[in-house]
């Protein structure tokens, strides 16, 4: 069996078109820059019945049109590879690019369904629906959701990966993309290493996809928990002011005084982990989501005790059970469940993941606190807050149901950006071998392993690096789109 080529039988048709599209785009871009520097102007525009109509075109307009059609041609070729990857069964025909695109078939379908439903119902979806009026926001959302779906379908559902990310196959150490797996049929393996093998003969493609799941397990949820901590403390600090604000602001400033990277490193170093400090921090920080949800329900239905009390009791039982399962770690300093109740422990989080999760919460919470505090100090002076006070609403009702919804725009934007920062931090920690287990397929660890032989083999380090770059870029573009639409809201 021959190794796969990058483009397979589709290459002679699609590759020249893609190269022509790139060449046309570059030529049009250079021409556009030259014309702009020479002072060229766009064509004349007239208005008929309230609509702009182009009367004449200038060379500057033609260069822009050439760039537009070059991008469309390139995207059409990429779409052809995706469709061929899903429709053609033979990997030798569709090549590495088509085969990889075909492996992501569940992701493409999920993206198509998500965009179709979101655009169809966008007028009913508030700020999320308005995101689809922004080109930048849509591109960022598409990139982010690609990796979200890739993590889901490639991690727990196991529909994308071709090999076990920890499995080593003899003879494939540092082998190039498209390498044939020896005796694949007899051993029940997928016949190719699509993106090659790493320095331990593991499949780079499978580790890249599994790495997305490692990121999605930590970054969004740790950031969400950090927001619950910051909101729970920031709202009363900004609303009440006085000594409470002074005390909480001092604590936040004390934490922010440390460089973020240095503080993150300190929290995940083995010496600090052995002291049990991160576990005790988890026991404290994980209380805030319970407090946040409980106060929100109580303040909303305070005047309906017949409904509030049973709902609150159920929520507290469920969240308390999850809290005990999160915090309780058998064989550690927090091992408080007796043997008879060990069945109540729903799951055990690996120590490395718990430490990183707590570190992300602790590092991000003070910044969120400062943002929420500032927004609260501004919004509490608005007329609708005074109207709520006149109606006799409780303080926590005003903070959670009057002030917080009106601060959602900046908070949502910061949430997206903060997930990107967390992703970079996770990659940095993995690169230095801190936090997550050494065999973890997270992108940072994979990049670190691949960079040792980077001058000889590019393929082990390049896919996870591009994956990390694309996810952070998508989050930044999504935040820009949300910021743009929230300002119009």
DSSP states along 398-441: HIIIIIHHHTHHHHHHHHHHHHHHHHHHHHHHHHTT-SS-TT--
DSSP states along 132-169: GG-HHHHHHHHHHHHHHHHHHHHTTS-SS-SS-TT---
State residue 212's pLDDT score.
93
State residue 339's pLDDT score.
53
Where does the pLDDT of residue 350 fall: very low under 50, low under 70, confident under 90, or very high at 90 and above?
low
> What mean pLDDT comes out for the span 54-70?
80
DSSP letter at 124 equals G
Strand partners, 52: 47
CA 430 vs. chain centroid, Å, equals 17
Where does the pLDDT of residue 2 fall: very low under 50, low under 70, confident under 90, or very high at 90 and above?
confident
Evaluate the CA torsion angle 363, 366, 372, 375 in order and state its sign. Answer: negative
CA angle 109, 113, 118 (to 5 degrees): 150
**What CA–CA distance (Å, rounded) separates 450 from 462?**
8
Helix axes 11-37, 59-87, angle to 10 degrees: 160
Strand partners, 51: 48
Task: Name the residue with higher pLDDT: 393 or 113.
Answer: 113
State residue 450's pLDDT score.
86
What tokens were used for 430? 């993995």
Question: Does pLDDT of 333 surpass 60?
Answer: no
Task: Name the residue with higher pLDDT: 301 or 261.
Answer: 301
State residue 351's pLDDT score.
62
Of all residues in the chain, what percent are helix, strand and coil, respectively (each to 5)?
A: 70, 5, 25
Where does the pLDDT of residue 122 fall: very low under 50, low under 70, confident under 90, or very high at 90 and above?
confident
What tokens were used for 33? 């820059």
Judge whether 349 and 286 are in contact, CB under 8 Å.
no
What tokens were used for 24? 């046309």
Question: Does pLDDT of 237 surpass 80?
Answer: yes
State residue 433's pLDDT score.
75
Measured in Å, how far apart are the chain's first and last C-alpha atoms?
Answer: 59
Question: Does pLDDT of 334 surpass 80?
Answer: no
Question: Does pLDDT of 216 surpass 60?
Answer: yes
What tokens were used for 343? 């069945």
Judge whether 142 and 199 are in contact, CB under 8 Å.
no
Instruction: Give the CA distances from residue 381 to residues 235, 241, 376, 489, in Å, rounded to whole numbers and listed in that order.
Output: 14, 13, 9, 20
Judge whether 362 and 255 are in contact, CB under 8 Å.
yes
Where does the pLDDT of residue 35 fall: very low under 50, low under 70, confident under 90, or very high at 90 and above?
confident
Which residues, 6 or more positions from 136, have their beta carbon under 8 angstroms from its beta carbon? 477, 480, 481, 484
Where does the pLDDT of residue 50 fall: very low under 50, low under 70, confident under 90, or very high at 90 and above?
low
> What mean pLDDT comes out for the span 396-408?
91
**What CA–CA distance (Å, rounded) separates 31 from 365?**
48
Judge whether 429 and 356 are in contact, CB under 8 Å.
yes
Strand partners, 53: 46
Q: Kind of pairing, strands 45-48 and 51-54?
A: antiparallel
pLDDT in tens, 414-449: 999 999 988 888 888 888 777 677 778 889 888 888
State residue 44's pLDDT score.
62
Task: Name the residue with higher pLDDT: 288 or 266.
Answer: 288
What tokens were used for 51? 């609509």
Instruction: Give the CA distances from residue 56 to residues 45, 52, 162, in Å, rounded to whole numbers and listed in that order.
Output: 7, 12, 55
State residue 115's pLDDT score.
93
pLDDT in tens, 172-185: 999 999 999 988 88
State residue 185's pLDDT score.
81
Question: Does pLDDT of 56 surpass 80?
Answer: no
3-state secondary structure (DSSP) of residue 47: strand
> What mean pLDDT comes out for the span 17-27?
93
Question: Does pLDDT of 241 surpass 70?
Answer: yes
E strands, 262-326, in order: none
Radius of gyration of the chain (CA): 27
The pTM score is 0.88
CA 434 vs. chain centroid, Å, equals 21
Question: Does pLDDT of 166 surpass 60?
Answer: yes
> What mean pLDDT comes out for the span 392-400?
91
Question: Does pLDDT of 332 surpass 60?
Answer: no
Judge whether 322 and 346 are in contact, CB under 8 Å.
yes
Which residues, 6 or more positions from 392, have their beta carbon under 8 angstroms from its beta carbon? none
Task: Name the residue with higher pLDDT: 188 or 140.
Answer: 140
Which residues, 6 or more positions from 439, have their beta carbon under 8 angstroms from its beta carbon? 166
State residue 468's pLDDT score.
93
Q: Which has the closest alpha carbon to 404: 357, 360, 371?
A: 371
**What CA–CA distance (Å, rounded) separates 31 from 37?**
10
């Amino acid at each position: 069996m021959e190794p796969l080529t990058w483009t397979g039988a589709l290459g002679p048709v699609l590759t020249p078109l893609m190269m022509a599209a790139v060449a046309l785009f570059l030529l049009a871009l250079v021409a556009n820059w030259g014309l702009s520097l020479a002072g060229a102007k766009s064509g004349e525009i007239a208005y008929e019945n309230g609509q702009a109509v182009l009367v004449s075109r200038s060379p500057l307009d033609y260069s822009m049109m050439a760039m537009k059609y070059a991008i469309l041609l390139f995207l059409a070729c990429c779409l052809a590879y995706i469709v061929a990857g899903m429709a053609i069964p033979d990997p030798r025909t569709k090549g590495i690019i088509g085969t990889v695109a075909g492996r992501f078939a569940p992701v493409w379908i999920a993206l198509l369904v998500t965009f179709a439903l979101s655009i169809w119902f966008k007028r009913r979806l508030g700020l999320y629906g308005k995101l689809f009026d922004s080109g930048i926001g849509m591109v960022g959302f598409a990139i982010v959701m690609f990796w979200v779906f890739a993590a889901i379908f490639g991690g727990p559902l196991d529909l994308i990966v071709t090999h076990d990310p920890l499995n080593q196959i003899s003879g494939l150490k540092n082998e190039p993309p498209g390498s044939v797996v020896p005796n694949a049929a007899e051993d029940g393996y997928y016949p190719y290493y699509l993106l090659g093998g790493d320095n331990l003969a593991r499949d780079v493609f499978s580790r890249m996809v599994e790495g997305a799941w490692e990121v999605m397990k930590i970054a969004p949820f740790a950031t969400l928990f950090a927001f619950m901590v910051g909101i729970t403390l920031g709202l009363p600090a900004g609303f009440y002011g006085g000594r409470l604000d002074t005390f909480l602001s001092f604590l936040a400033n004390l934490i922010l005084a440390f460089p973020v990277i240095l503080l993150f490193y300190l929290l995940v170093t083995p010496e600090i982990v052995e002291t049990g400090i991160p576990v005790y921090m988890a026991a404290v920080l994980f209380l805030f989501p319970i407090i946040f949800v409980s106060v929100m329900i109580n303040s909303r239905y305070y005047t309906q005790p017949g409904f509030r009390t049973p709902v609150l009791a159920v929520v507290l039982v469920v969240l308390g059970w999850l809290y005990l399962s999160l915090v309780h770690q058998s064989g550690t300093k927090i091992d408080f469940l007796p043997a008879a109740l060990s069945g109540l422990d729903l799951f055990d989080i690996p120590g490395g993941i718990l430490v990183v999760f707590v570190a992300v919460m602790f590092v991000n919470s003070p910044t969120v606190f400062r943002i929420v505090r500032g927004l609260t100090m501004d919004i509490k002076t608005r007329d609708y807050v005074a109207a709520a006070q006149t109606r006799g609403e409780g303080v926590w009702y005003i903070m959670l149901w009057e002030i917080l919804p009106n601060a959602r725009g900046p908070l949502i934007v910061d949430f997206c950006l903060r997930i990107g920062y967390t992703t970079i931090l996770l990659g940095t920690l993995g690169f230095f071998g801190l936090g997550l287990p050494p065999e973890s397929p997270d992108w940072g660890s994979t990049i670190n392993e691949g960079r040792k032989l980077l001058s000889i083999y590019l393929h082990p380090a390049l896919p996870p690096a591009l994956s990390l770059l694309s996810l952070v870029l998508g989050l930044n573009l999504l935040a820009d789109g949300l910021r743009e639409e929230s300002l119009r809201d």
